[in-house]
Structure 1
Amino acid sequence: MLIFITATDTEAGKTWVTASVVRALLHEGRSAKALKPIACGLDEAGRNEDIDLLLAAQQVDDADQISLFRYALPAAPSQASAAEDQIVDTEKLVQWCEEQSSEVETCLIEGVGGLMVPITDDWLVSDWINALPDAEVWLVVGCRLGAINQTLLTLEKLKQMGRTPARIFFNATKPEFNTWLEPTRKAVEPFLNQSCAIHALKFGKAPNVIR
């Protein structure tokens, strides 16, 4: 099973959700893998917090096992790659994701930012999702001021793509954001497909989505 984890914005908690789910699956003895195919904002060692968190969740240490394109600049992939005189090879990206997913029962792919983040000058995260038609889409919402608007815009875009989310995670990324969970969920829930599983995650709470 292939799962694409996207979000309403950067810093919404995609990595936290992805790492928590793959850790739980592996703990249950499932065949699972979590990928961060594109990573931007690397330190001098060529790593960042997202990569380290996903590696630790899977008890592996080689970033090449989970990531294909990595760039130093903390920016959209189109800009981060251009800063190094490179362009993300989108065909190679899609092929790599498919190859990685074929090796395990469940493969989690963590995207970059939200749906409209440019991977290249003419290819967005939404195009990446469309290039993986068999992938189930999970949406992570960083609950804070402005989250309702961003979530409804994201849901509308996914609806246009014919890719309504199978799961939505209302996530508090800081303790002080816990109070935003219920108001955000209540405002968004009427716009969700009835089959969409809803998770509300207080700060530090891991999602329970073992199938």
Structure 2
Amino acid sequence: MASKRVFISATDTEAGKTWVTASAIRALLKEGNRAIALKPVACGLDDHGRNEDIDALLAAQGLTDPDQISLYRYALPAAPSQAAAAEGATIDADKLVEWCESQSADVDTCLIEGVGGLMVPITDSWLVSGWVEAMPDAEIWLVVGCKLGAINQTLLTLEKLKQMGRTPSRIFFNATKAEQNDWLNPTLRSVKPFLNKHCEVHTLKFTEEVALGS
């Protein structure tokens, strides 16, 4: 049976993709699933060459080697196209897609955390949306960082997915700070009429874990 692949995107940067991905992989592994969570592209390294998102996903899986879950890592905290260019490099789109496929070959479920939102440039001519389109079998999870402006960002993202012929199977209305808890329900109420009726909705208060259900 082919591995189930899930691409986790967001409405914006700092929306909580890593929190959702780490929480989800912990839940899957606890249930006995053969699963892996990847952060194929990461931008922003500390003085020791570490990335906090990668470290969070490694810890959630009991792993230690970044190469196990990440292919491209750059020091500059910027869009991948800019972060790579700052080091005289470029990301190979075909290699990225093939790597994701190979990493998911021996597991039942592969969570693939994207970078930023759908319109973030991976290269000068290839966006995150192109990465998603290159994996037509992947389920889409969308993380919404609930704050001022989130409704607009979410509806724009849903419209882009619609243009791509895709729709999220799960949407996470997430508070990354305690003061964002008050934005959860207003954002949900405004967005819900535009969701596919089969989309599973989660609301996550600050520090709450993901409960995946069946």
Query: Shorter-chain TM-score category?
Result: over 0.9
TM-score normalized by structure 2? 0.98
C-alpha separation in 2, matches of 1:45 and 1:132:
33
C-alpha separation in 1, matches of 2:165 and 2:128:
15
C-alpha separation in 2, matches of 1:45 and 1:58:
21
Segment drifting more, 117-126 vs 36-45: 36-45
Aligned to 2:127: 124
The alignment partner of 1:39 has SS state of strand
Aligned to 1:104: 107
Q: Is the 8 A contact 1:6 1:137 kept in 2?
A: yes
**Does structure 1 residue 69 correspond to structure 2 residue 72?**
yes
C-alpha separation in 2, matches of 1:78 and 1:89:
11
**Which 5+ residue runs of structure 2 have no aligned equivalent?**
none
Aligned to 1:150: 153
Aligned to 1:85: 88
After TM superposition, the structure 1 = structure 2 runs for residues 164-179 of structure 1, keeping only pairs within 5 Å, are: 164-179=167-182
Question: Could you tell me which amino acid in structure 2 is paired with residue 103 of structure 1?
Answer: D
**Does structure 1 residue 202 correspond to structure 2 residue 205?**
yes
Q: CA RMSD in A?
A: 0.6
C-alpha separation in 1, matches of 2:189 and 2:97:
36
**Does structure 1 residue 180 correspond to structure 2 residue 183?**
yes
Q: Is the 8 A contact 1:24 1:210 kept in 2?
A: no
What count of residue pairs does the alignment treat as equivalent? 211
Question: Could you tell me which amino acid in structure 1 is paired with residue 195 of structure 2?
Answer: L
Q: Is the 8 A contact 1:4 1:111 kept in 2?
A: yes
Aligned to 2:11: 8
**Which 5+ residue runs of structure 1 have no aligned equivalent?**
none
Q: Deviations over 1:175-211 (max 9, x none)?
A: 0000000000000000000000000000011111143
Aligned to 1:32: 35
Structure 1 residue 44: Cα displacement:
2.0
Structure 1 residue 102: Cα displacement:
1.1
C-alpha separation in 1, matches of 2:213 and 2:98:
27
Question: Could you tell me which amino acid in structure 2 is paired with residue 110 of structure 1?
Answer: E
Segment drifting more, 65-74 vs 21-30: 21-30
Question: Could you tell me which amino acid in structure 2 is paired with residue 198 of structure 1?
Answer: V
Question: Could you tell me which amino acid in structure 2 is paired with residue 108 of structure 1?
Answer: L
The alignment partner of 1:112 has SS state of coil
Q: Deviations over 1:19-54 (max 9, x none)?
A: 000011111111000000000001122212101100
> Please, which of 115, 118, 134 is the counterpart of residue 115 of structure 1?
118
Question: Could you tell me which amino acid in structure 2 is paired with residue 21 of structure 1?
Answer: A
Aligned to 2:52: 49
**Does structure 1 residue 190 correspond to structure 2 residue 193?**
yes
Percent of counterpart pairs with the same letter?
A: 72
The alignment partner of 1:168 has SS state of strand
